[in-house]
Chains A and B, each alone.
Chain A
Amino acid sequence: MRLAEHQYRTVRAIHGPLLFLEKVFAARLGELVKITAPDGRQLSGEVLKIAGDQVLVQVFGGTQGLDTRRTTVSFSDAVMRAPLGTGVQGRVFDGSFRPRDGLPMFVPEFRKPVTGAPINPVARAHPVEFIETGFSTIDGLNTLVKGQKLPIFTCAGLPAREMTDQLLRQARLPDGGPFVLVFVALGLTHFEYQFYRQTLEHMQSRFVAFVNLADDPVVERLLAPRLALTVAEDLAFRQEMDVLVIITDMTNYCDALREISTAREELPGRRGYPGHMYSDLASLYERAGRIHGRKGSVTLLPTITMPEDDITHPIPDLTGYITEGQIVLSRELHQKGIYPPVDVLPSLSRLMQHGIGKGQTRKDHREVANRLYRTYAKGCDLRRLEAVVGRDGMLADDRKLLDFADRFEADFVHQGQQRRTIDATLDTAKALLDSFREVAR
């Protein structure tokens, strides 16, 4: 155990965001270090690997301007901790927890390690409480519940941003209570950030934002979600609030992970992403949840842009294996002018079964959802047939199913900017099913 900070000027090599130091005494894994550049610039970093007195440090921020002769590294003897307290609300920070809104830093009440600790599985309360998002495709067919992690899989150019934005403004709890929003922007362009800023302003002080823009240091992209989730856990499980964490865009996070992993000379896995990406993503996503005997909750809505619209790409694939379902947006629906362009067939909410029905949404919810789903799936199947034989060559019932699929998209999926309550969603669905009574079984 060291009792004081240690300072070194023994940087041997600098590779991308990594510093190699030697002759370091008793370093710790994950230890926070402060780096002073020759020009006096202050940076922080974290110990990744230690072999005897040789230490590998990951630098948060750019390594431009660092050298091997005059750069000073001081070891803090502690792992990285996030400052926490009530002052965090209503603020915008960067990926290293520095204020980004021009105001002075708040006074932290205490600090907690940013990596968090896993929730004991027996302490977890199963998510069952319905969240009304205002989107029929989600509320009706892929219901979101408190404590769930439900990603939005989008493609480049689709209105995921508008959807996220609407979600922020519209999401309501069953008891009408408000959410506290933790917004995490990873590698966002200035243009997109402007868009979200308006929404944040609308939220008044019920938000905390961590913003890492596209031209900010890549390593901070890995740090920002961890800081945000540490804050979210504190808001939820200590201050007993319902927290909605929105992360956009996890694709940038994974690319940052790949970049750092390559710099560390780790073995690349599928498409160059590191083999530990599943565990790494899980260490973020799994921080969502509820705990027995505590009031708050952390609900997680990450956005993932599927590269090449490919759902089997490692990023959406590994995400889908960890999250409790996914909302998939479709280019085809978007081109038909349907908003939100949610393709309900590959979309899924695994926790829906317990969050719907009597006492949660409405008694008929399950039956309505099943019928809608089944009938639409049949209609979509028949579209392939239609493409070959034409509508005239089809049975009367099959033609009706085709009509149903079209009407479903136009009346149920499409809702424009309008917010629908769960009752309105289910009523729309029932009306649709009634008018196709013969085929919608």
Chain B
Amino acid sequence: MNGKVTSISGATVCVDLPDLKVGDRVLVGSNRLTGEVVRLDGRIATVQVFEENRGLGIGEEVATAGGPLTVHLGPGLLGGVFDGLQRPLPQLLRNSGDFITSGQNPFPLDRSRAWEFSSDRRPGEALHAGEAFGTVREGHIDHLLLSPRDGTLVRLHTGTLFLENPAATFAEAEPVHGWHSWPVRDARPYRRKLPPTTPLITGQRCLDFLFPLLKGGVAIVPGGFGTGKTVLEQTIAKFADVDVVVYVGCGERGNEMAGLLDEFGELEDPRSGRPLMERTIIVANTSNMPVAARESSIFTAVTMAEYYRDMGLDVLFLADSLSRWAEALREISAALEEMPGEDGYPTYLGSRLSGFIERAGVVEALAGGEGSLSMILAVSPPGADFAEPVTQACLRVAGALYLLDTQLAHRRHFPAINWTQSFSLYSDTAMAHFTEQHAEWAKLQARCRDLLQREDALREVAEVVGMEGLQDGDRLLMRTAEKIRLDFLCQNSFTEDAFATPQDTIAHITALVAGHDRLAAALKGGALLDDLLKEGADAPR
């Protein structure tokens, strides 16, 4: 069934094509640009086009793709680099050169790659949708092949498997492949959701020690420009103790993506010793790529993340940045002439966002095992003003806030996490875990917070009376707090210090606090701080 383009306003195109459903994928124009139906009005459908559509003419043909916008899920996603529509960027490069052109639609998975397929299932067994019917080895993980629908197994084609060939046959001669497609806007189903309990080690001392995240939890990272959101996200992507990382560059810089690709290609996963890229999926929709595809990119990415979660793996989803996604939503909404809400964002920003963020969590998967999907989402508030709608909407659903501070960044205190305004609702649960490893953890955390808080208060006093006017005890406290800030909370992402194990972290803070207590005791005994510091000046730190 073919229709025609009737009006064009930027990426929003109206087409005359009956029998479409909202959310359907359509191919627009002679270049067959991918679009999604966002609104229906009689025979006329409003379509959001995901590709550059300059040159598109009135009257050009439109065809339905016969279903919603989907992603392809199967072995070989790991190590992949895709755009917001899951088009493999390396393949686009081979097909059309260094610049992205419209109308390309290569298959996202590598059909020529051979997989060793094994299964302990037997013909005659009944399978439910989402259950595994075998495994292939993908890098460091056992990739479960999940059944796309209910059925009875008739045959299994174990051995060498190519994705274009069926992996199994169901009753009524239905072939089942090693891959299937899934609508990006639909969350993948699971048996039930479980409360998150295990800490996710980010390797950042400040986060793991003061504001721990749990596997299955959601943290947001708002910060003005130059506060190091991207570096923090990328550092966590390198070192977090998870099985799979899905990284979305959503409306951000192309050069940053290039840097990420270079680094991830070279670096090793500290746990498995294999290239870091082998556990990573990158979705890159940079700021100059079409806006509508930027909107879909986080859904494309989160569906792939859910797919690995469904194999019982721990998946970390990182997005940089959610604000660019929200802005894409705003641009689309404005093009549809919808009534604007706060700051021009559509009024459904909050519900759309919470619907997305709720796709995180720990689940009992349909295939059995327990998988988790954690999210760390960067937010770029205009003018670093956190009262804006996107930050506020995120705060309502996120369990942890890592607030990046412009002042700290200007002082080159990285990661520039503000320790007074950040929080983690997962702290108590995580603490139960950490205290098992180190009994003093909770106590040290409280001490550390207390020292930093008192430093703030003292600094105000010092601004009135000067440091000279402070007592020795207070000066010592300020000195210790400074050490905590500079040596402990600061962490250089470009050196070996980029990752700290929980053991290192706790040893580090224990030493700092013990040093403080030793000097404090000496002061109580009547010693003078200046003398103590002079003596200690040559002592190893």
Contact A267 B226 (CB under 8 A): no
Among B8, B226, B463, the residue within 8 A (CB) of A326 is B226
Residue A4, interface by CB 8 Å: no
Contact A354 B259 (CB under 8 A): yes
Contact B57 A120 (CB under 8 A): no
The CA of A384 and the CA of B53, in the complex, are separated in Å by: 54
Residue B18, interface by CB 8 Å: no
Tell me the interface secondary structure of chain B in the complex: mixed
Which residues from chain A sit less than 8 Å from chain B, CB to CB? 1, 26-31, 49-53, 78-79, 113, 115-127, 147-148, 237, 266-267, 269-270, 275-276, 278-279, 282-283, 286-289, 291-292, 294, 312-314, 317-318, 320-322, 324-326, 345-346, 348, 350-351, 353-354, 370, 373-374, 377, 381, 384-385, 388-389, 393-395, 398
Residue B465, interface by CB 8 Å: yes
Could you show 28 A-B contacts with beta carbons less than 8 Å apart?
Answer: A1-B57, A26-B57, A26-B59, A27-B58, A29-B56, A30-B55, A51-B14, A118-B289, A119-B98, A121-B89, A121-B261, A123-B99, A124-B255, A124-B258, A237-B98, A269-B344, A275-B344, A278-B324, A282-B286, A286-B287, A291-B98, A312-B385, A314-B383, A317-B382, A320-B224, A320-B225, A324-B255, A389-B466
Among B249, B291, B330, B468, the residue within 8 A (CB) of A121 is B249
Tally of B interface residues using CB under 8 Å: 71
The CA of A147 and the CA of B53, in the complex, are separated in Å by: 27
Chain B 76-102 interface mask (CB, 8 Å, partner A; 1/0): 000001000000011011000111110
Residue B334, interface by CB 8 Å: yes
Contact A118 B286 (CB under 8 A): yes
Contact B467 A394 (CB under 8 A): yes
Contact B226 A320 (CB under 8 A): yes
Contact B226 A348 (CB under 8 A): yes
Residue B340, interface by CB 8 Å: yes
Contact A121 B258 (CB under 8 A): yes
Contact B255 A279 (CB under 8 A): no
Chain A residues, CB < 8 A from B468: 393-395
Chain B residues, CB < 8 A from A270: 343, 382
A147 to chain B, nearest CB (A): 7
Among B53, B100, B330, the residue within 8 A (CB) of A275 is B330
B341 to chain A, nearest CB (A): 11
Chain B 1-19 interface mask (CB, 8 Å, partner A; 1/0): 0000011111000100000
Chain A residues, CB < 8 A from B262: 126
Chain A residues, CB < 8 A from B6: 51-52
Contact A393 B324 (CB under 8 A): no
The CA of A393 and the CA of B81, in the complex, are separated in Å by: 59
B233 to chain A, nearest CB (A): 13
Residue B191, interface by CB 8 Å: no
Given contacts A52-B7, A126-B258, contact A120 B55 (CB under 8 A): no
The CA of A346 and the CA of B410, in the complex, are separated in Å by: 5
Contact B55 A373 (CB under 8 A): no
B236 to chain A, nearest CB (A): 17
The CA of A1 and the CA of B60, in the complex, are separated in Å by: 8
* 15 additional contacts (CB under 8 A) given A1-B30, A286-B253, A312-B385: A29-B53, A29-B55, A53-B58, A79-B55, A121-B284, A122-B93, A126-B255, A267-B340, A276-B331, A286-B254, A288-B255, A320-B224, A389-B464, A394-B468, A398-B467
- List the 5 shortest-distance A-B pairs measured between CB atoms, nearest first: A312-B383, A282-B287, A30-B54, A393-B466, A286-B288
Contact A385 B343 (CB under 8 A): no
The CA of A292 and the CA of B97, in the complex, are separated in Å by: 11
Chain B residues, CB < 8 A from A118: 99-100, 254, 286, 288-289
A345 to chain B, nearest CB (A): 5
Closest A residue by C-beta to B337: A267
Contact B58 A346 (CB under 8 A): no
Given contacts A30-B54, A52-B6, A317-B382, contact A373 B344 (CB under 8 A): no
The CA of A320 and the CA of B385, in the complex, are separated in Å by: 15
Contact A119 B99 (CB under 8 A): yes
B224 to chain A, nearest CB (A): 8
Contact A121 B81 (CB under 8 A): yes
Residue B127, interface by CB 8 Å: no
Closest B residue by C-beta to A51: B7
Closest B residue by C-beta to A292: B98
Q: Which of B31-70 contact A (CB under 8 A)?
A: 52-59
A357 to chain B, nearest CB (A): 10
Given contacts A269-B343, A279-B291, A385-B466, contact A124 B254 (CB under 8 A): yes
Given contacts A79-B54, A377-B412, A389-B464, contact A147 B255 (CB under 8 A): yes
Chain A residues, CB < 8 A from B99: 116-120, 123
Residue B411, interface by CB 8 Å: yes
Given contacts A26-B57, A50-B7, contact A148 B463 (CB under 8 A): no
Chain B residues, CB < 8 A from A29: 8, 10, 53-57
A71 to chain B, nearest CB (A): 22
Closest B residue by C-beta to A293: B98
The CA of A126 and the CA of B411, in the complex, are separated in Å by: 26
Chain B 255-287 interface mask (CB, 8 Å, partner A; 1/0): 111110110000000000000000000001011
Chain A residues, CB < 8 A from B98: 119-120, 123, 237, 291-292, 294
Chain A residues, CB < 8 A from B10: 29, 49
Contact A324 B57 (CB under 8 A): no
Chain A residues, CB < 8 A from B253: 286, 322, 324
The CA of A52 and the CA of B15, in the complex, are separated in Å by: 10
Chain A residues, CB < 8 A from B7: 50-52
Chain B residues, CB < 8 A from A313: 383
Chain B residues, CB < 8 A from A30: 54-55
Given contacts A29-B54, A122-B89, A267-B344, contact A289 B9 (CB under 8 A): no
Contact A388 B54 (CB under 8 A): no
Among A28, A31, A237, A351, the residue within 8 A (CB) of B255 is A351
A78 to chain B, nearest CB (A): 8
Chain B residues, CB < 8 A from A53: 58
Closest B residue by C-beta to A385: B463
Contact A52 B288 (CB under 8 A): no
The CA of A420 and the CA of B249, in the complex, are separated in Å by: 38
The CA of A279 and the CA of B289, in the complex, are separated in Å by: 9
Contact A115 B54 (CB under 8 A): yes
The CA of A28 and the CA of B31, in the complex, are separated in Å by: 13
Given contacts A394-B467, A394-B468, A395-B467, contact A275 B286 (CB under 8 A): no
A42 to chain B, nearest CB (A): 23
Residue B469, interface by CB 8 Å: yes
Q: Which of B371-387 contact A (CB under 8 A)?
A: 380, 382-385
The CA of A388 and the CA of B99, in the complex, are separated in Å by: 57
Chain B residues, CB < 8 A from A350: 226, 256
Residue B513, interface by CB 8 Å: no
B38 to chain A, nearest CB (A): 17
Chain B residues, CB < 8 A from A126: 255, 258-259, 262
Chain B residues, CB < 8 A from A78: 55
The CA of A235 and the CA of B445, in the complex, are separated in Å by: 57
Closest B residue by C-beta to A378: B411
The CA of A395 and the CA of B465, in the complex, are separated in Å by: 11
Q: Which of B328-364 contact A (CB under 8 A)?
A: 328, 330-331, 334, 340, 343-344
